[in-house]
Amino acid sequence: MTTAQTAESPAWYALKVFYSKAPQVQEDFRKSGHDTYLPQMIASLLFVHCTEHQLLAYKDSHEGKMLYYTDPAAADRRKPGRIPDREMDIFRIASSLAATDPDALYLGSDTEKLCTGDRVLVTEGLYKGAEGYVKRIRHARKVLVAIKGVAVVALSNIHPKYLQKIS
């Protein structure tokens, strides 16, 4: 965490919300003035933009409604995982567009086995600006857009000439 990124500076966090309580948890955070994102194609996943302190206070006062995804790189494995704004912006665009694409797939949690291809930037078309990994799934090339350790969306029907390799 840089000096600009403290536990008291707002960041995006991913929540696993239980028993169809996502709309209620989302409304609770919105009433408190926090931005939220509920991807249509991923049940029980909610993103909230708040401070770490606010996230932990909500979890403590609403036990049994949700868990937060942790930071796998932190020494304390219980520390909430901050999602960089740019990564969240790209994921929001990709998952929103993918919700209307019948060939797009939600693949569950991001794992190393899914991220074995080249990292690419989509330069044109519907998914312009998305960054992800190329992967063959069901005999078709997909671009995987991920929030590390949280979720992956597979985008399809992207012409190879619109993929720029990122080193």
pLDDT of residue 107: 66
pLDDT of residue 157: 83
Q: Is the pLDDT of residue 6 over 70?
A: no
Domain tally for the chain?
2
User: Per-residue pLDDT averaged across 107-127, rounded?
Assistant: 69
- Residue 97 and residue 109 share a domain: yes
Q: How many CA atoms lie within 13 A of 34 on its CB side?
A: 24
Distance set, CA 16 to CA 13, 38, 61 (Å): 10, 11, 16
Distance, CA of 65 to CA of 143 (rounded, Å): 33
- 58 φ, ψ to 5°? -65, -45
User: Per-residue pLDDT averaged across 123-133, rounded?
Assistant: 91
- Residue 153 and residue 78 share a domain: no
- Residue 109 and residue 62 share a domain: no
Q: pLDDT above 70 covers what percent of the chain? A: 89
User: Per-residue pLDDT averaged across 146-158, rounded?
Assistant: 88
Q: Of 83, 105, 125, which residue sits at a domain end?
A: 83
pLDDT in tens, 37-56: 999 888 889 999 999 999 99
Q: Which domain holds residue 101?
A: 85-165
- Residue 108 and residue 66 share a domain: no
- Residue 78 and residue 1 share a domain: yes
Bridge partners of 66? Answer: 17
- Residue 128 and residue 79 share a domain: no
165 C-beta neighbours (distance < 10 Å), count? 9
pLDDT in tens, 49-84: 999 999 999 999 988 889 999 988 888 888 999 999
- Residue 154 and residue 139 share a domain: yes
Q: Of 66, 83, 100, which residue sits at a domain end?
A: 83
Q: What's the whole-model pTM score?
A: 0.72
- Residue 115 and residue 73 share a domain: no
- Residue 91 and residue 28 share a domain: no
Q: How far is CA 10 from the centre of its chain?
A: 16
Q: pLDDT above 90 covers what percent of the chain? A: 45
User: Per-residue pLDDT averaged across 13-35, rounded?
Assistant: 93
Residues 6+ apart with CB under 8 A from 164: 120, 121, 122, 123
Q: What is the mean pLDDT of the chain?
A: 85
- Residue 58 and residue 127 share a domain: no
